[in-house]
Amino acid sequence: MKIKELRALSSEALNAKLTELRLESSIERRKIVSTGVSSKQVKIGEIKRTMAQILTLLNERGAAT
């Protein structure tokens, strides 16, 4: 997601999105471990980047989990 889209979301929506991304990240990591090959390294990087952006926004708002 773009940072502008994330800024438009409420803190509750950001927390929900963060939970969703953490689940998606763990699924992708399990796929790598089970197959030994990752065809989606770019996707994992995007997930990590979006998670960091959400955490930064939550810290700025003072609503970090």
Q: For the chain, give percent helix, strand, coil, nearest 5.
A: 80, 0, 20
- What is the pTM assigned to this prediction? 0.83
- C-beta separation of 38 from 31 below 8 A: yes
Instruction: Determine which helix (DSSP H) or strand (DSSP E) holds 18, and give its type and residue range.
Output: helix 11-35
pLDDT tens digit sequence for 7-33: 999 999 999 999 999 999 999 888 888
Q: What is the pLDDT of residue 4?
A: 93
